[in-house]
Amino acid sequence: MPEDIPVTELIRSAMEARKKAYTPYSNYMVGAAVLTNELRIYTGCNIENAAYGPSVCAERTAVFKAVSEGWHRFKAIAVVGSPKGEVISQYAFPCGVCRQVLREFTDPDLFYVIVARSERDYKAYLLKELLPESFGPENLR
């Protein structure tokens, strides 16, 4: 992983964001922290809804917060997830919809997805590994 990606800080930020998850229906709490190309960190949590469909994942909350503030290019995202009240014992991978949203604002050959169980226990993937042969903005140009 490139030196300029502050992995520990990203994971810590995702863990803090996870505490804000609004999950009365699934009780599955997720936090995410995305790093912009300018090295700013935006965080997000999952936010559920009584009508289920409007629920949004932590990753998209983080990305949309950043994009809505004018930051469109990203280097990495850290994700942590586990059921409410449990220690984080699993790696929480971004869902397919979130992978496609990340695709929109990243270079899949360079963008890192970090799934973590703790600050030291994490795995890192390039987006192209998690979303191979993807469709993106270039296809429409």
Q: Which of 14, 98, 101, 116 binds ligand THU (CB under 6 A)?
A: 98
Q: Binding residue for ligand THU (CB under 6 A) from 20, 28, 126, 136?
A: 28
For the CB of residue 24, give the shortest distance to ligand THU in the complex, in Å: 10
Residue number with CB closer to ligand THU (36 or 61): 61
47 close to 61: Cβ distance less than 8 angstroms: yes
φ/ψ of residue 58, rounded to 5: -60, -40
Q: Is 37 in the site for ligand THU (CB under 6 A)?
A: no
Cα separation, 59 vs 33, whole angstroms = 8
Provide the annotated active-site residues. 59
Q: How many residues does the chain have?
A: 141
SS3 67: helix
Distance in angstroms (rounded) separating the CA atoms of residues 63 and 72: 9
| Residue 27: CB minimum distance to ligand THU, A | 9
Is residue 57 within the footprint of ligand THU (CB under 6 A)?
A: yes
**Alpha-carbon distance 109 to 84, whole Å?**
34
Q: How many residues bind ligand THU (CB under 6 A)?
A: 13
Binding stretches for ligand THU (CB under 6 A): 23, 26, 28, 30, 46, 48, 55, 57-59, 94-95, 98
